[in-house]
Structure 1
Amino acid sequence: MQGHTWYRAWGFAAVLALAGCQSGPGGAPTAQATDGQQAYQELQAQVGKYHSDAPFLQRGVMAARLQHLLGAQAPVFMRNLEVAGPLQKEGSVYFITGNRKHEGASNAAAVALDAQTNTMRIWWLQDGQPRVVQDPGASFLWPKDVNTMISNALNTPGS
């Protein structure tokens, strides 16, 4: 899967950078380590902010991965985040949940990015049909709030 190669390489570098294990000559961080660390520092700075006020779904590590996984379906998915909570973090997992305005019972969404494994999971309810897209090897658990949202969405009449 050539399309996944670039972010696997980047992901490995980011995981090493976050663990402080990658360095260049003289112990200085390499460019890849610095870039991966900076990407997650930028995301951390946006925890508690809404995507309408912060660019974490428009640019950066979360946006790039989301676009890569969803491709042409990204705009539809983003409509399902019209009414969304702020970016949250549980353990090493950054996440956001939401729904389409006035259509929460049939169009909802959640996206989670695990900084530890550098993998993303995406769940969304499109016209009442649940879908999941994730990076190969993404095995982290959904945060509690995401599980609650998914459970509520799937147990709502009409979904």
Structure 2
Amino acid sequence: MPQDTVIQQISFESDSEGISAVFFPFPVNANDFGRVILTVNDDEKRGVVRLEADVAPGQRLDPFKSALVSQSPLLLCKGSGPASAASKAPLQARPVLGKPTPLAWTNLASSIGKFQSDSDPNGIDLLTSGPIADAIRSRLGRKMDLLASNLSAISGLQRQGSLYWVTGNAPHQGGVEQAYVLLDANRRAVQIGLWEKGKLTVYAPQGGRLPVPQDIARLLMDSPPEDAVPLPGTAWEVVPVQGRAPMAYVDVAASPNIKSFSLFCEGNRPMMAMLLNKPATVQRVTVTWNFAGRLIDIPTGRANAQSTFWQANLTGSQLIPMLLRQNGSVMLRINGRLEGEALLAGAPLALRTAMRTCVKF
């Protein structure tokens, strides 16, 4: 549908609080309203249509949406009502959309700062055509569509020495559905890091993994690792322990730092143990279990020299009662930072089996 027709078809007003109305004309899905905000009867002036970009720093609109926004404000129809002088200016001819430059080993240096695009002649084509797109496709195969989705919000091409890279994520899915593409111009090698449901898979070149620049190193530190459990996670289970009562155990899914939790009896005390996949640098942390808005904070202390094993006394805590009566999943935090989630399936049976000597059910 022509872009001017789309604008002219939007024509209604509110009966209660003025005549201005706000729309999102290019929604991506039910959770993402898109990158353009459209206001009809802007500033309470009948017939004035304003389009504004809603993009994060470093992101750009595609040429079609950029052309619409650049012509704002617009006049709905001739004679529809008073409008600003700018809105009375005629619409310019549509820009002729070109094609982005296919990314190749020979034009990496001249492409620094440019963005992946399907149609912007000032952008680069990283994923569909050219030598580097072919190299990525040979590594990923059927995962190419997932990579494209996980680079929907993407950085410009960056450089550190002979290394070039982009990072990105699916809309509102950072840490869960995200990716990086790393290029070594000297080796002409490609490495892709692809997070799917909160688990990282690295597609490295045949000659071995590439060294990662600081930007990607920070991303790896802040994101779920390769041995993370993918969402939605696994059900609780009872784990036997030699010489003592068993434990109720659950893996944590899509967490940058937590591997698992174990609940068990130590004498007559209910206890919680947390296993991390990398050392923590503090002496104590607060672990928060978020049951759909009901927060249970557990002060937790370091229990080994490597700072990967942590314990807490659950006497007086509401954690076990909440685990017994809730379903679905529970969101987790350490010192306020998101740390994935755990399924609640199987929790009542596992807890009653493992903790009957120290908890009254």
TM-score normalized by the length of structure 1: 0.70
1:42 aligns with 2:107: yes
Q: Please list the CA deviations of residues 43-76 of structure 1 after superposition, one character each: whole Å capped at 9, or x if unmatched.
A: 3221110112321333223211111100111111
Contact 1:108 1:153 survives alignment (8 Å): no
Correspondent of 1:80 among 141, 150, 158 = 150
The residue identity in structure 1 corresponding to 2:170 is R
Q: Distance in 2 between matches of 1:40 and 1:105?
A: 29
Match of 2:168 in 1: 98
139 and 73 in structure 1: CA distance in 2 versus 1, 3 angstrom threshold: closer
| Equivalent pair of 1:43/1:56 in contact (CA under 8 Å) | no
Give the 3-state SS of the residue equivalent to 2:108 in structure 1.
Answer: helix
Q: Distance in 2 between matches of 1:116 and 1:94?
A: 11
Query: Could you tell me which amino acid in structure 1 is paired with residue 197 of structure 2?
Result: D
Q: Are the equivalent residues in 2 in contact too, given 1:121–1:138 (CA < 8 A)?
A: no
Which 4+ residue blocks in structure 1 deviate beyond 4 angstroms?
none
Q: 1:120 corresponds to which residue?
A: 190
Contact 1:96 1:111 in 2 (8 A): yes
Q: 2:125 aligns with which of 55, 58, 68?
A: 55
Name the aligned partner's letter for residue 189 of structure 2.
T
Coordinate RMSD, CA, aligned: 1.8
Match of 1:130 among 200, 212, 216: 200
For residues 99-130 of structure 1, the C-alpha deviation after alignment (integer angstroms, 9 at most, x for no partner) is 11111121110111101111111111100111
Cα distance change on mapping 1:77 and 1:39 into 2, 3 Å: closer
- What are the Cα deviations for residues 73-106 of structure 1, in whole angstroms up to 9, with x where unaligned? 1111111001111011111111110111111121
The Cα of 1:41 is off from its aligned counterpart by 2.5
Secondary structure at 1:39 match in 2: coil
- The match for 1:158 among 326, 340, 343 is 340
Matches within 5 A, 1:143-154: 143-154=213-224
Q: Distance in 1 between matches of 2:127 and 2:161?
A: 20
Greater Rg over alpha carbons, structure: 2
Q: Secondary structure at the match of 2:193?
A: strand
In the alignment, the residues of structure 2 paired with residue 150 and residue 78 of structure 1 have an alpha-carbon distance, to the nearest angstrom, of 19
Structure-1 separation of matches of 2:217 and 2:207: 19
Higher percent of residues as helix: 1
Cα 1:86–1:125 shift into 2, 3 Å: same
Q: 1:139, 1:50 → 2: CA distance?
A: 25
Gaps of 5+ in 2: 1-102, 118-122, 225-255, 257-337, 342-361
Provide closer, same or farther for how the CA distance between residues 45 and 58 of structure 1 changes in structure 2, counting only shifts above 3 A.
farther
Task: Tell me which protein shows more strand as a share of its residues.
Answer: 2
- Asked if structure 1 preserves the Cα contact closer than 8 Å seen for 2:204 and 2:210, the reply is no
Question: How far apart, CA to CA, are the structure 2 residues paired with 1:101 and 1:144?
Answer: 24
User: Larger relative CO (CA 8 A, sep 6+): 1 or 2?
Assistant: 1
Counting aligned pairs with the same residue, the percent is: 28
1:28 aligned residue: none
Query: What's the secondary structure of 2:216's corresponding residue?
Result: helix
1 CA distance for matches of 2:183 and 2:175? 24
Task: Name whichever of 76-85 and 138-147 sits farther off.
Answer: 138-147
Give distance in 1, aligned partners of 2:214 and 2:202. 17
2:201 partner SS = strand
